[in-house]
Amino acid sequence: MPTASRFEGRVCVITGAASGIGRAVLVRLVSEGAQSIGVDLNAGGLAESAEMAARAAAHGGQARVLTASVAEEADIKRVFDDVVREEQRLDVLVNMAGVLRSKPTTEVTAEEFEALLRVNLLGTFLCCREALPHLLATRGNIVNAASMSAFVGHPYMAGYSASKGGVVALTHALSREYLLRGVRVNAVAPGGILTGMAANPGFTPEMDPRLFQHVTRPDRLLGQPEQVAGVVAMLASEDGGFVNGEVIRVDGGTHG
């Protein structure tokens, strides 16, 4: 674990913290001194993440968790009301909550497409909207989860790709809107990362594997969630203090 104390005294909210990259970010920020609040629908996974963060805690860092759906406006209002009431401030928002569905486009229902947008895009927007008044007070920052699928065609993932393209556009818009008010907004764009989502993408036999050759490494190597968390920590800290409106690829060079 790193020995830096870049987040000592800072309050951070991390969505999608019950597993994968969100869990890795929670652990990383607590290890660097953050008072971190993990948010997810999966209460059991959140409890495991909190235990892992407690073992990694240093520089006064602590973790607590809140069960909520990022796709539900009332839940998100409740989360940020709780955070500001209990912690008295907010310095960093990391939007990592997301869902992935793989399916031939002609078989995707309107409800399935909308469900992806609700979590990946609407959820990110709602969290940003509720966090921004508090981040303005602390001159804090936001890190969003985009994806390389927003830039390079990922077959059978039209809804997921569209939602992540929306996150990229939202990141750019907010970074410009708050440029002169002290709030930075950036994003990471992971490629193939070893998470439960990547391990179970829902591929079916009719999906032609040849179409995936341009989005996978020749050696099939996947990145680790902790490697993405390291980039998030840089962006959210003062080390990233002059980085704004960027979407940083974390894909091991997969997409050229």
CA 95 to chain centre: 4
Cβ neighbour number for residue 242 with a 10 Å cutoff: 7
The sheet carrying 62-67 orders its strands as 62-67, 35-40, 11-15, 92-95, 141-145, 184-190, 247-250
126 DSSP β-pair partners: none
Is 156 marked active-site?
no
Dihedral (Cα; 119, 97, 245, 180), 10-degree rounding: 90
| 157-167: burial string, b at 16+ Cβ within 10 Å, e else | bbbbbbbbbbb
Cβ neighbour number for residue 213 with a 10 Å cutoff: 8
- Of the candidates 7, 80, 160, 178, the residue annotated as catalytic is 160
Round to the nearest angstrom and report the end-to-end CA distance of the chain: 30
- Degrees to nearest 5, angle at CA 121 with 118 and 126: 85
Query: What whole-number distance in Å separates Cα of residue 162 and Cα of residue 254?
Result: 20
In 3D space, the residue among 95, 212, 89, 203 whose CA is nearest the CA of residue 146 turns out to be 95
Cβ neighbour number for residue 115 with a 10 Å cutoff: 16
Question: Which spans in the chain are helix H?
Answer: 20-31, 43-56, 73-87, 110-117, 123-138, 158-177, 196-199, 225-236
Mind telling me the catalytic residues? 160
